[in-house]
Amino acid sequence: MSSEYSYWQDFFKSEKFKKHLNSLKRKLKNKKVVFYCNGIYFDALSDLYNLSEYFSVVGVSDIRYEQNCESDYKGYRCIKPSELRQTGADCVIISSPNPDFIKEYLQKNNLVKSVILPLYKPQQNLFFRTVLALEYFKVTKNLYKSIKYCLFCTEEELQTKINYENVLQGIKKKVKSGGKLRVVFVCEENQKWGYQFVYELMKKDSVFEVLPVVLYPIISKNRVEFTQEKNKEFFTKQGVESVDGYDYERETTIDLKTFAPDIVFYQQPWYLEGANHPVNLSKYALTVMIPYGYTTLSEKSWGSDAVRRVYSNLWMFFSESKYHNKFYEKTAGMRHKDNLLATGTPKLDYYIIPVKQEFEDLWKGGENRIIWAPHHSINNTGLCMSTFEEYYKFFLDFAKNHKEYSFVVKPHPALRSTCAAQQFITEEEYDTYMEEWNNLPNASVYTEGNYFDIFKTSDILVTDCSSFFAEYFPTGKPIILLDQKNRAPFDKFGKQLEKGFYKVNKPGELPKLLTNLLVNKNDPKKELRLKIYKKEFPFRKQLVSYCIIRYLDGLLKKQVW
């Protein structure tokens, strides 16, 4: 089980929670109840208690049931959010450690008419927050921030703020004695690696001592993958030293503290073990994150409580743009935390370097080059963006019959495991399918990171993903969205980019559109995409990686010299 699951189980076993649960039981006696939000928090609760002994449970609900509702979850009937009103429930209990965001969603969309209660909402004690704020003031002598954090941070967030200030004091002593700042980059999936140029610039900077990239396997409830060898091969090609960050004897990820880092760069907010969570790392290192993707989806489809806890406790989060700052402030609770800075994404720095020959060699056969990038969210996997079930046979047959086109298939790294988990096709069948692509004279499959050279050498992107749209936009080339009515909606940024897309709703519409765009060279949205790009990508004229290094250099020197 994950460390987060264990944490909540221990919490639910506490006498404090047991008293609260019995109090809630008395309060809701003879009331019909629906539990909303079924994640690790609810799993830990329902595995520990038979909730039917405490409440008259009508069922459980979650946003992921809206598209493809399961029959039951943990023995309780699954209910679509849109059908909550029809249940006749007297109360909806939000089984989430951060219920306010979910309550707002339910009320904003008018999904319930019953009472909405949090399962448990820890009381943020003003006295303890004040004590922590005074401690922060003693360390920083910054009265304004001390008051602000007292008002807007949780006790946990205030403690991490203090921890980071103490870390900076330790860095001061280290630098005075001639030491360098030790930096660790963490990577679970090389396909999402976005720190290449940050890493390279830090290697050249005398301020930093860059340690090997620490490779963690993906271990979660629905996905267990050991991609260590593939990750090591990828980083070797990139000229990056890496080490295996998994303890095979204990079957857990290695505590990052053993590397004695001063700064830790996370790749993504998923799969973090307890010891390596920002809350715990803050005691001895500064924690940093840059989004591995490019956010284009609306807040309704974004994030989780676990993600919000990670983001709000980071030392610094470098976002895609000022618009995205506002987005994260709202969805991740980062407002007034002073750990959010708009710099742009360093992934787009790939556009300024020459193309490597190996990526030119991926393109076989036809003159017109098509990227097909299918997403993993098939069936009831939340975002419902994937059209892989509908298109996978069509695309293979189309490639076989149209040698004038050259294809590179770039599947989402989670597609293989999702197909198996959803019992669509087995992993073996998936591998056979991809091998068929590789055997074609006009197609290749590419599953690793550093895919921007594929973008640069292509003629068009055909996808149902979200982040790829933004990452591909700087090419100025056509983008085709494989659309479906249940797809997760775009945010304001995504909607602006969407104006420059072409859309198809079924496979039969695609051949004609490809002919028009690639063969006839008729691209009526080309100028519109250029206007959108100039407006929505404010950091397009700078090397983002350099700006991030310059910011860290400047801030740390200001703090420690």
- Mean pLDDT estimate for the chain: 89
Could you tell me the pLDDT band of residue 555, with boundaries at 50, 70 and 90? confident
Burial of residue 68 (number of CB atoms within 10 Å: 0-12, 13-18, 19+): middle
Question: At 30, is the secondary structure helix, strand, or coil?
Answer: coil
Range from 64-73, 166-175, 463-472 carrying the lowest mean pLDDT: 64-73
Do the Cβ atoms of 241 and 235 come closer than 8 Å? yes
Helix (H) or strand (E) holding 224: strand 224-225
> What Cα–Cα distance (Å) separates residue 470 from each residue in 348, 448, 466?
10, 19, 8
Smallest CA-to-CA distance from 321 within 142, 493, 548 is with 493
In the prediction, which pLDDT does 124 show?
A: 63
Q: What integer pLDDT is reported at residue 221 of this predicted model?
A: 53
pLDDT in tens, 367-377: 899 999 999 88
Secondary element (H or E) of residue 91? strand 91-94
* Closest among 221, 265, 257, 219 to 240, alpha carbons compared: 265
Coil, strand, or helix at residue 92?
A: strand
Name the nearest CA neighbour of 227 among 188, 182, 278, 180.
188
Lowest mean per-residue pLDDT among 21-25, 439-443, 483-487, 506-510? 483-487
Domains of the chain: 3-118 (3.40.50.720), 179-344+543-560 (3.40.50.2000), 354-536 (3.40.50.2000)
Q: Is 438 left (phi over 0), alpha (psi -120 to 50) or beta?
A: alpha
Identify the pLDDT of residue 219: 72
Dist. CA 136–CA 26, nearest whole Å: 41
Phi/psi of residue 95, each to 5°? -90, 70
Whether pLDDT at 59 is above 90: yes
Query: For 409-446, what is each residue's pLDDT tens digit?
Result: 999 988 998 888 788 899 999 999 999 999 999 999 99
Q: Is the distance from CB of 241 to CB of 213 less than 8 angstroms?
A: yes
Q: Please enumerate in sequence order all residues whose Cβ is within 8 A of that of 138, keeping only pairs 6 or more positions apart, or say none.
A: none
Q: What is the pLDDT of residues 488-531, one digit of tens each?
A: 888 899 999 999 999 999 999 999 999 999 999 999 999 999 99
Distances (CA, A) of 219 to 224, 225, 431, 542: 5, 7, 21, 36
- Confidence label for 104 from pLDDT (cuts 50, 70 and 90): confident
Per the structure block, which two tokens stand in for 64? 């992921």
Which residues are registered as beta bridge partners of 225? 218
Within the chain, what is the greatest distance between any pair of CA atoms? 72
Burial bucket for residue 224 (CB in 10 Å: 0-12, 13-18, 19+): exposed
Span 174-228, pLDDT tens digits: 888 888 999 999 999 999 999 999 999 999 998 899 999 999 988 765 566 778 9
Confidence of residue 379 (pLDDT cuts 50, 70, 90): low
